[in-house]
Structure 1
Amino acid sequence: MGLCTKLFFFCVLVVSGLFTPAAQAQQRYWVLFKDKPALAEGPWVSEQAVAQRRLQHLPVHQPSDAPVHQPYLDSLARRGFSVTSVSKWLNAAVISVLPHQATALQQAGYIQEIRPITGYFQTTSTAVPFQPNYIAKALSQLKSEALFVQSLTGRGVKIGVIDAGFYQAPEKPGLATLFENGRIKQYRDFVSPGRQDLYGEKESGLDAHGTEVLLCLGGNDPYQKVISGLAPEADYYLARTDHGSLESRVEEEYFVRALEWMDSLGVRLVNSSLGYGTGFDNPAENYRPDQMDGGSYIAKAVQMAVEQKGMMLVIAAGNDGGNKKWQILNTPADAPGVLTVGATDYFSWVKQGYSGIGPGFLPYLKPDVACFASSGTSFSAPIITGLIACLLEEKPSLTAAQLTDILHRSSHLYPFGNNYVGYGVPNAGKALELAHNLSAFPKAVPLEVHGNRFIYKPKSRNNIADNGGIVLFRKQSPTLVMAQQKLSSRVKRIVVKRLPGETHTTLQVGTTVMELVWR
């Protein structure tokens, strides 16, 4: 089952006590402070977080770890503003007020900027139930037996899961061993922090979404001998930041707070199948497609997590690929540095129709990689996260940048990525080899084609069907796809006729990949 959650991030600037305006006239705002004066002595994070930074040669003491300057928050309170959220990383607070009140507040000397929160974070759901046989196909596609041979299970790796809820997770046979063996270390509900029954109380129809994501990450039923996740022996830190039936931008605040919480505990690897774009309950909060440029506050937070904190973030690309009014991925999947995961078909490794497309205006390639998911990128992302957990178990010193490079280079289209499936489907065996030797596989070289036709005769058709079949990605630039085309794996002669406007074509014939550059 593949739900890719798009979570709205709706930030409201809380009403000044001097006025009593109608609730609908208020708006949420990020209030960004200029500095953090009089910083106290650190560290402000756990010993585990310090150890992770030392392992990656990152600064141990970072100003962004320090709390927001309390007198600034006190000043907002004295002005009658109620702070609903605080981010130490962004050095910001969220309040809700009328626009003219926000304008007046801008004059305060300690405030750098006040930005209204518009835009939406959405959960894309599906009615297809979780089916382990679908996950088995994804594991097969990644050639995951290479991990099993090495007995890699994510042991010793801390994984954070930010999602919409983990309803009935302890009751799932595939997750029983995680709970019995103490692998679920902590769980925080940022939506309803007062809830007592974290796994048994249901607030929306999407409360089990995180449960199914967890099955794709660490699922293992020893009695039925079913493995549905590659990291059954990792340690898990769970965060609920999305209310499945109430979509608003406040959920972006919860997301950022969950990231900060996980970092403080030394969590190294984070998976989220949430994304913000369009579909908020309040249409004014919806983002525009051109805002999927890595500039949202949630995107900035995840970029900081990667670049400054050394965290590896894996984000689902979203399920709007078939939505003609949107089509592209959601934020924070647009952020530089995060590993964005799309979804492919199983038999021919083309983009699934629903999988979000990378915007053509980004200066970097998105998505990064992809793998099979039957009904949503929510379930392709945790499969890739499980693979990364095994790589970290094998070599804990790998940085987020190195892990991203390994995933890119081990994928079947590399180095000829595109905005449909990124660099394609990773190969677990290649990834393991690259973990020990980052230059193990040399780059392929493009082939210049003069004229408007190219003919290729496969020397052998063995294993073509088991390695993605025959696919053409027709592109109007090195990365932007015009159309994807599946051919029968039985054809003996492939004739590629150049389309109007086509400048590059990636020809995939099983494990053979060629990049045609039309001249």
Structure 2
Amino acid sequence: MKKKYFILLFICTSLLHAQQDAWVYLKDKPSSPTFFNSPSKMLSQRALDRRSNQKIDLDAKDVPIESTYLNQIKSKSGVSVMATSKWLNAIHVRGTQTDLNAMKALPFVEKIDFANKSLNQSAKSIAVKKEKNVSKTAKTKIEYAYGTSSNQIQMLNGHLLHQQNYTGSGKIIAVMDSGFPGVNSAQPFKRLIDNKQILGGYNYVLRNPDFYTGTSHGTSVLSTMGGFKENQLVGTAPDASYYLFITENDTSENPVEESLWVEAAEKADSLGVDIINTSLGYFDFDNTSYNHTYSEMDGKTAFMSRGAEIAFSRGIIVVSSAGNSGESSNPNIAVPADAVSVLAIGAVNASEIRTSFSSIGPSFDNRIKPDVMAQGQSAIISDPLGNIVTANGTSFSSPILTGLVACLWQALPNKTNKEIREIIIKSSDRFAAPNNLYGYGVPDFNAAFSDQLDLNEIAVNEVVIYPNPTADLLSLILPKNSTSGIIQFFNTAGQKVFEKKIENNDSSISIKELQTGLYLYKFQSQDFIKTGKIYKQ
């Protein structure tokens, strides 16, 4: 009996002295009035404009953590500050259970929430730390095989958006991942670099500005959106701009990575980012006492999922891989794909059949997950050396779709993030009968755009030519201040093949005589010139 008591006492003592991860939640933000009086201290003008355009008010979540509180916690002996979140008014800390619990005495601390959930209750159950080796990118199988990226775009009818000049221009995507080596040197990213479409980034893991480092997972993810290598790889949003944030430490698995993600999402919000892609998922950790449970996949428990939901409330669209655990004993989605507003993307093959590795739903509270599907088997990507290869994983179905979210939002600039999300889901091929293998199915981005074409929303200085593509008739709408103009069509060799004078009472023109293919058009009036592309079916 004494021996058993000694062992139990030893375990308890070891646990008390082991390093623990926890979140310190703060009670308030005393400096809120100062920041509300000067919103530019919290958010860039682009971020403020995004909020204004979507009629989203500023609130206390936008206010930074009280600096005096943070400094007091930093000064505590034995406590390390790992990350902060203004949205959740929380500080991720590391230290012994004793040192962390001591902070409860601080008058501004609301509660301490340990990553080891047993420490938040009575100490009846004791979790012993068990280390394991984890390789989070090992689930992504790379095979060196050249090919074309056409299928992964055409499956979603994204090429039809591209043909209408909707290529992501004007939209900003933040990519949260484990590293971006080669992006500043490999040929498929040269177009992004030359056009200054990489707006910046940060390495939250190492706390330095070098984001062209780490593992190549983020490089491959980015290539599906912004990569360009003629006849081999064209990203789904080649003209979007990007911020690159390293939040994932591929050498370990710890809840701090969820906190780093939220911190990066807050930065993305402040910079005016429109869309976040995260090809990351969290369920198991090196310290098994930190593991999530399926019951926590309810969209409101995990720190990262709560942060993703707040990001959406700020007017950002968050797109996440559903996960690659479909063949495991725990086949369900992981954090943050469980969040209500996150677009969780599962994986299909080139024939639109679900891949066996794609994680399934539902969420614990019985919501449909994944939300939609895209190609994640034999996806065409670039490696850090610029080789065009194939890869498997929802890590790639997510960004493939993310790029087209940017294109669609460019095409429908007056829609809110909630509306864009709903439009995508409603365009999917299983919308009428969703399930927890395919979600709502494979979206049709061209149909999503065409179905939303609202002539009342057209700007007064814009020429509208639709539908695109077309087999015969094209409808035209001239700006209200324009009475006439001339429209010309040119083939890809630059030869003029069609010309017609347009009056305000003209509603359509026939291009039936033109051969199938892509044409450039130019509309010219006394006041302006508009150019674009039309695809004749």
Partner of 1:30: 23
Name the SS for the 1:404 alignment partner.
Answer: helix
Counterpart of 2:419 in structure 1: which amino acid?
Q
* Paired position in structure 2 for 1:256: 262
Aligned to 1:9: none
Q: Which residue of 1 aligns with 2:60?
A: 63
Corresponding letter in the other structure for 1:214: L
Give, as a single letter, the amino acid of the residue that structure 1 aligns with 2:353.
Answer: V
Assess, with a 3 A threshold, how the Cα gap between structure 1 residues 21 and 85 changes in structure 2: closer, same or farther: farther
How many residue pairs were aligned? 406
Q: Distance in 1 between matches of 2:346 and 2:148?
A: 16
2:226 equivalent to 1:218: yes
Q: Distance in 1 between matches of 2:268 and 2:59?
A: 16
Report the counterpart of residue 3 of structure 1 in structure 2. none
2:352 aligned with 1:318 = no
Pair 302,131 (structure 1): closer, same or farther in 2 beyond 3 Å:
farther
User: Residues 33-182 of structure 1 correspond to what in structure 2 (within 5 A)?
Assistant: 33-39=26-32, 40-41=34-35, 42-43=38-39, 44-59=42-57, 61-80=58-77, 81-118=79-116, 122-123=136-137, 125-129=139-143, 133=147, 135-182=149-196
Kindly indicate whether residue 188 of structure 2 is the aligned counterpart of residue 188 of structure 1.
no
Q: How does 1:324-343 map to 2 (within 5 A)?
A: 324=329, 326-343=330-347
Q: 1:386 aligns with which of 389, 403, 426?
A: 403
**What is the DSSP-based 3-state SS (H/G/I as helix, E as strand, rest coil) of the residue aligned with 2:420?**
helix
Q: Which runs of 5+ in 2 are unaligned?
A: 1-12, 118-133, 378-391, 456-537
- Structure 1 residues 40-49 or 264-273, which shifts more? 40-49
**How far did residue 140 of structure 1 move?**
2.2
- What is the CA-CA distance between 1:359 and the residue it aligns to? 3.0
Letter of the 2:400 counterpart: I
> Which residue in the other structure is 2:350 paired with?
346
The residue type equivalent to 1:414 in the other structure is F
Q: Does residue 282 of structure 2 align to residue 285 of structure 1?
A: no
Question: What amino acid does structure 2 have at the position aligned with 1:97?
Answer: G
Please give the per-residue CA displacement for 1:427-460, whole angstroms capped at 9, x wherever unaligned.
122111233359xxxxxxxxxxxxxxxxxxxxxx
Question: TM-score of the superposition, structure 2-length normalised?
Answer: 0.71
CA 426–132 in structure 1, closer or farther in 2 if over 3 Å, else same: farther
Say if 2:16 and 2:97, in contact at 8 Å, map to a contact too: no
Tell me if structure 1 keeps the 8 A contact 2:16–2:96.
Answer: no
**C-alpha deviation, 1:397, in angstroms:** 2.3
CA offsets, 1:290-341, max 9 Å, x none?
222211111010100001x1000100001001112x1001101100111110
Q: Distance in 2 between matches of 1:400 and 1:362?
A: 23
Q: In the superposition, relative to structure 1, how do residues 269 and 435 fare at CA in structure 2: closer, same or farther (>3 Å)?
A: farther
- Contact kept, 8 Å, 1:174 with 1:215, in 2: the verdict is yes
Of structures 1 and 2, the larger Rg is shown by 2
On the 8 A contact 1:276/1:331 being kept in 2, the answer is yes
Residue 399 of structure 1 deviates from its aligned partner by: 1.4
**SS of aligned partner of 2:180:** coil
Q: Secondary structure at the match of 1:171?
A: coil
Residues 1:424 and 2:441 aligned together: yes
Aligned mates of 1:130, 1:249 — CA distance in 2: 34
What TM-score, normalized by structure 1, do the two folds share?
Answer: 0.74
- 1:72–1:352 Cα change, 3 Å: same
Give the SS at the match of 2:147. helix
Q: Which residue is equivalent to 1:355?
A: 358
- Deviations, residues 266-298 of structure 1 (Å, cap 9, x unaligned): 0011111011112x3222222222222211111
2:426: which partner in 1? Answer: 409
Q: How far off its partner does 1:118 sit?
A: 4.3
Find the aligned partners of 1:243 and 1:360 in 2 and give their Cα distance: 26
Determine which of 212, 237, 250 is the counterpart of 1:244.
Answer: 250
**Shift in Å at residue 147 of structure 1?**
1.1
CA distance in 1, matches of 2:243, 2:144: 22
The code of the aligned residue for 1:366 comes to K
Q: Which letter maps to 1:51?
A: D
Quick one: which amino acid aligns to residue 418 of structure 1?
A: N
Aligned-partner SS, 1:148: helix
CA contact (8 A) 1:218 1:232 kept: yes
Deviation of 1:407 after TM superposition, in Å, equals 0.9
CA displacement 1:354-400 (0-9 Å, x = unmatched)? 00111353242211100121110011011111111111111222212
Please give the root-mean-square deviation of Cα atoms over the aligned residues, in Å: 2.4
Asked if structure 2 preserves the Cα contact closer than 8 Å seen for 1:310 and 1:400, the reply is yes
Alpha-carbon distance in structure 2 between the residues aligned to 1:121 and 1:331: 17
Distance 2:29 2:433 in 1: 44
The answer (yes or no) to whether the contact 2:149–2:232 under 8 Å persists in 1 is: no
Contact 2:204–2:264 under 8 Å retained in 1: yes
Question: CA separation in 2, counterparts of 1:365 and 1:133?
Answer: 34
Q: Which amino acid aligns with 2:55?
A: H
CA deviation after TM superposition for structure 1 residue 408, in Å: 0.8
Q: Distance in 2 between matches of 1:353 and 1:263?
A: 35
Shift of 1:102: 3.6
Counterpart in 1 of 2:372? 369
Indicate the percent of aligned positions where both proteins have the same amino acid. 34
8 Å Cα contact 2:19/2:94 also seen in 1: yes
Query: What residue identity is the alignment partner of 2:92?
Result: V
Distance (whole Å) between structure 2 residues aligned to residue 181 and residue 118 of structure 1? 46
Deviation of residue 251 (structure 1)? 1.3
**Which deviations, in whole Å up to 9, do the C-alpha atoms of 1:186-220 show, x marking residues without a partner?**
02111123365x43x5x5xxx11111111111222
Q: 1:432 to 1:281 in 2, by over 3 A?
A: same
Shift of 1:421: 1.2
1:160/1:267 contact within 8 Å kept: yes
Q: Which moved more, 1:415-424 or 1:92-101?
A: 92-101
TM-aligned CA deviation for residue 77 of structure 1: 3.7
Deviates more, 1:235-244 or 1:287-296: 287-296
Unaligned segments of structure 1, at least 5 residues: 1-19, 439-519
Q: Report SS of the residue matched to 1:230.
A: coil
Whether contact under 8 Å (2:175, 2:278) holds in the other structure is yes
Structure 1 contact 121–252 (Cα < 8 Å) conserved: no
Higher mean alpha-carbon deviation, 166-175 vs 48-57, is at 166-175
Q: What is the deviation of 1:36?
A: 0.8
Contact 2:225/2:238 (8 A) holds in 1? yes
* CA shift in 2, pair 1:225/1:133, >3 Å: closer
Q: Which moved more, 1:38-47 or 1:105-114?
A: 105-114
- The one-letter amino acid of 1:126's match is T
AA at the equivalent of 2:26: F
For 2:228 and 2:407, the matched residues in 1 are separated by 15
